[in-house]
């Protein structure tokens, strides 16, 4: 609903801007309050209004934080592993940059991941959602990218149920429509040429998921998948 609302710049100007970027809405319930408050005004003009509509639990936490009844640190848990993103410039991984980010779980058990890189000639990406054995429920992956010699913003969204058909998976075994058992460094590989995307110079990957780490050194995925389905 809020996606369609607009804010007048002021009483005399004729311009207006949307209160909420539609692309961020799908990730609100995966964010910790700290991550939510860090989203720039260009994407969320009215953060508290969005939270009330999209994630009442987040709205309640934000109210408690604003009243100093709750600390930000109490609303998130840092996970033991990290997420990684590797770039392929045409010579395989990692012929381009590699970057990582720590992972945080909110009080509803969900995790929001954001990784961003700039490099000319990106042809494929390898996304490692969690670099330790785990069970993952991947709800959504969104790519925002800019092509060479263009300032136009492009977005490509993959729902959890589309991942196995649009990406190459390594070290991951499906145990449901959006759920996977993964060994260390399970990978989601997206080939831009196969997706009809060319000449990428800047990429932002966002993902919303739930992560259950497994205290296993290197699981046998077939056996673990059978156990997880029980």
The answer to whether the bond into 94 is cis (omega within 30° of 0) is yes
Query: What is the per-residue pLDDT for 74?
Result: 93
Q: Quickly state the pLDDT bin for 5 (edges 50, 70, 90).
A: very low
The span from the CA of 210 to the CA of 110, in Å, is 5
Q: Residue 194 has what pLDDT?
A: 93
- pLDDT (tens digit, 9 = 90+) per residue, 172-194? 999 999 999 998 889 999 999 99
Question: 37 versus 123: which is more confidently predicted?
Answer: 123
pLDDT at 170 over 90: yes
For residues 124 and 142, the answer to whether their CB atoms sit within 8 Å is no
CA angle 187, 189, 190 (to 5 degrees): 155
Neighbours of 172 (CB within 10 A): 22
Q: Both tokens of residue 19? A: 């209160």
Using CA atoms, how far apart are residues 133 and 196, in angstroms rounded to an integer?
32
Say which residue, 54 or 212, is predicted with more confidence: 212
Among candidates 189, 181, 187, 188, which has minimal Cα distance to 213? 181
Whether the pLDDT of residue 83 is over 80: the answer is yes
Say which residues have a Cβ less than 8 Å from residue 102's Cβ, sequence separation at least 6.
78, 79, 82
Integer Cα distance of 182 and 67 in angstroms? 41
156 touches 197 (CB < 8 A): yes
pTM listed for this prediction: 0.84
Is residue 15 over pLDDT 60?
no
Which pLDDT band holds residue 218 (cuts at 50, 70, 90)?
A: low
Q: Does the structure show a pLDDT above 80 at 44?
A: no
Domain ranges of the chain: 2-70, 76-229
- Mean pLDDT (the chain) is 84
CA distances to 55, 140, 191 from 174, rounded to whole Å, are 28, 15, 20
Task: Bin 222: left if φ > 0, else alpha if -120 < ψ < 50, else beta.
Answer: alpha
- In sequence order, the 6+-apart residues with CB closer than 8 A to the CB of 23 are 43, 142, 144, 155, 157
Strands 124-128 and 134-147: unpaired
Q: How far is CA 115 from the centre of its chain?
A: 8
CA 194 to chain centre: 21
């Amino acid at each position: 609903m809020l996606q369609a609302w607009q804010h007048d710049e002021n009483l005399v100007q004729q311009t207006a801007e949307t209160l909420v970027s539609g692309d961020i809405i799908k990730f609100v319930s995966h964010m910790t309050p700290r991550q939510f408050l860090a989203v720039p005004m260009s994407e969320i003009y009215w953060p508290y209004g969005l939270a009330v509509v999209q994630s009442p639990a987040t709205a309640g936490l934000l109210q408690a934080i604003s009243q100093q009844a709750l600390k930000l640190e109490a609303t998130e848990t840092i996970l033991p592993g990290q997420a990684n993103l590797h770039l392929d410039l045409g010579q395989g991984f990692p012929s381009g940059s590699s970057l990582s980010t720590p992972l945080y779980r909110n009080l509803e058990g969900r995790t929001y991941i954001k990784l961003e890189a700039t490099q000319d000639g990106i042809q494929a990406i390898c996304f490692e959602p969690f670099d330790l054995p785990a069970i993952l429920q991947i709800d959504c992956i969104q790519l925002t990218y800019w092509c060479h010699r263009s300032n136009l913003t492009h977005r490509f969204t993959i729902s959890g149920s589309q991942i196995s058909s649009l990406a190459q998976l390594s070290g991951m075994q499906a145990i449901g429509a959006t759920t996977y058992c993964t060994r260390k460094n399970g990978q989601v590989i997206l080939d831009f040429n196969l997706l009809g995307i060319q000449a990428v110079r800047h990429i932002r990957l966002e993902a919303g998921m739930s992560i259950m780490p497994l205290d296993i050194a290197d699981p046998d995925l077939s056996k673990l998948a059978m156990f997880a389905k029980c």
